[in-house]
Chains A and B, each alone.
Chain A
Amino acid sequence: NAGVMQNPRHLVRRRGQEARLRCSPMKGHSHVYWYRQLPEEGLKFMVYLQKENIIDESGMPKERFSAEFPKEGPSILRIQQVVRGDSAAYFCASSPLQNKELFFGEGSRLTVL
C-alpha cells in the first residue's frame, strides 16, 4: 500500500509564474489536507478537501491560491503569480475518515527566484 505521493518533490519558479503541486492520497483515503511549512517553522493548515468538495479553506490565502480534489486524479494545490514569500515546503496529508490519523507525504519544496 503506497503512501501519500506528492510531486514534484522540488519545484523552482520565477516570480509571477504558476506553481502546481499534486498529491495522490493513500489508497482508500478520501480526505486530503494541505499544510505549508516555512523554514524553521511549524506546519500551518491551508485547506481540507474531500472528493469534489472543499470542506475547510480557512487557512488559504485569499488571493492566488486554490485547491481542488477532483473525482478522478490527484488533489492539486495551485499558486498563481508566485512571490518569494511562497517559498516553502508544502505537505499533503490524507486520512480514511474524518477524525482519523493523518498520513503525510514527503512534501513539495517550492523555491521562488
Chain B
Amino acid sequence: QQQVKQSPQSLIVQKGGISIINCAYENTAFDYFPWYQQFPGKGPALLIAIRPDVSEKKEGRFTISFNKSAKQFSLHIMDSQPGDSATYFCAASKPSGSRLTFGEGTQLTVNP
C-alpha cells in the first residue's frame, strides 16, 4: 500500500519535444504528490508538486496532471531541452507526516 510505481525507466526525447513520465499509487491516503529532479552526483530538488484537489498544475514548461479516480499522476515537460536531462522521481506522502515514498525514477535524455 506504500508503493509508488513509475514509468518509463528511461526516456529519450528530441530537443523541443514533450517528455511524459507517469506514476501510479495504491494508497488512497496520499495527499501530496511532488516531482523531484536529480542531476548526477547531486541531491534531488523539488520541481513541482500537486495536491488532489486540483487536476492540473503548471509551472513554466512543467505540468503535473492528476487523475484521482485512476490513482495516477504524470509529469509533462514541454519544449524539452538538453539541460533537462536528469533523473526524475515522483513521490507521495500522507497527511500524517511528510515522509515521502518515491518512485523508482526515470532517466531522461534530451538529444540536441
Contacts and interface: CB of A to CB of B under 8 A. Distances in A.
Interface of A: 4, 31, 33, 35, 41-45, 48, 55-56, 91, 93, 95, 98-107
Contact of B97 (A48, A93, A105): A48
Interface stretch (B11-19, B38-46, B55-63, B65-73): B38-46
A45 B97 CA distance: 12
A42 B98 contact: no
A101 B6 CA distance: 21
8 contacts: A31-B98, A33-B99, A44-B102, A48-B98, A95-B98, A98-B97, A99-B93, A102-B100
Interface string B28-55: 0000101010000111111001000000
B112 interface: no
Interface of B: 6, 32, 34, 36, 41-46, 49, 89, 93, 95, 97-105
B102 A104 contact: no
A106 B42 CA distance: 5
A104 B97 contact: no
Contacts of B32: 99
Nearest to B94: A99
Given A35-B102, A101-B46, A104-B43, 6 more contacts: A42-B105, A43-B89, A43-B102, A48-B98, A91-B43, A101-B34
